[in-house]
Amino acid sequence: MGFMDTVRAIFGNSAEHDATREADPEDLFGMSTAYMTMEADLDYPNEGTAALCFSSVDSTDFEDTLREVRDILEAGEAETGTGASIRMDQQGYHWVVLEDSDPEDLVTSIHFAADTFIERGYGSRLLAALFAFENDSRHVYWVYSFRRGAYYPFAPERGRERDQSTEFKLQSVLDGELGVEDDTSYWYPMWPDSPRKHPWE
């Protein structure tokens, strides 16, 4: 399956049709305690980045929404030091990328961004939120799928392989603390374009 096929599968009509519950941006706050569990129990500390993936709309109103999101994040940067940028990947998907060593600030900022899209009527354009963790230069992610209203782990390896043993370990430890997707067929990979890079780079 190519990257675009994967994106269509995770964010397309099938996932939306099969959704078990509606996405709720309040779910993002579950990551606040998950950060502590990831570091204390699994030795995966906060890598210092998180990102919100969304698809754009060619309209003036959507551009105004993006401007509002950018203004909110810039105001937050002045207050908390959370760096923020909006970028487009090689497949044409957009990302709100946040950088901060304080995981609480990352969670709060990504929630503000998601909530703004929803309040402006663009909740259906939200695709996923990714939270990055690192151990010895190796990244793992918790992915929140807005189409499924649930989290799942993603542990990429070189050669577009994934470490399923690590993913199942993350599931076993965090299930109950996060609303983890029970159906592993929906644990879609979010491959980066190059090794050692994040999916949004």
Q: Mean pLDDT of all residues in the chain?
A: 87
Neighbours of 67 (CB within 10 A): 11
Distance CA 85, CA 95 (A): 8
Whole-model pTM: value is 0.88
CATH of the domain at 46: 3.30.70.1130
163 phi, psi to nearest 5 deg: -85, 90
Per-residue pLDDT tens digits for 85-134: 998 887 788 999 999 999 999 999 999 999 999 999 999 899 999 999 99
Confidence band of 11 (pLDDT split at 50, 70, 90): low
How many distinct structural domains can be found in the chain? 1
Structural contact between residues 31 and 142, judged by C-beta atoms closer than 8 angstroms? yes
Residue 199 within any structural domain of the chain:
no
88 phi, psi to nearest 5 deg: -115, 135
Residue 196 within any structural domain of the chain:
no
Residue 193 within any structural domain of the chain:
no
Full domain range(s) for residue 51 = 3-186
Residue 55 within any structural domain of the chain:
yes
The beta strands (E) that lie in 11-170 are given as 46-54, 83-88, 94-99, 126-135, 138-145, 150-154, 156-157, 161-162
Average pLDDT of span 49-63: 92
